Structure 1
């Protein structure tokens, strides 16, 4: 069941704000941007990043590369590079 939001009056809002400011456990004011604190997760981005694509290959080709173990997609990429330059 939805209830209607009742907004506080200006005086109630001011009283709430004073209470929050006086509370030592209240979260810090982050309305201003904090430079250098927020880090991007993960590794640094490489200059020559790869592009994610969807590619349909013949079953026997995929099975052959998968049979070689982990890194089979990297080996497909290497084979395509050799074919491009050859």
Structure 2
């Protein structure tokens, strides 16, 4: 009887330990996968954000440069007109 009880206890212990180890492994693997996913998603989002921001900045820069160029051209035309009018008045 004692030997039987010992064997049963040993078998139960082994099964318990196996199950605990399996559960721990599953939890660990899940956590690792979740962490990896989060890190990957963060990196991808950051890269997408950077690319978007770069494009937006480039577009804004182009628009600004165009507007500045137009303003400069208008100013130059105004200066030329003023000089021309001043010359006409003197003459």
TM-score by length of 2: 0.22
Which structure shows the bigger proportion of residues in helix conformation?
2
Q: TM-score of the superposition, structure 1-length normalised?
A: 0.22
- CA radius of gyration, larger in: 2
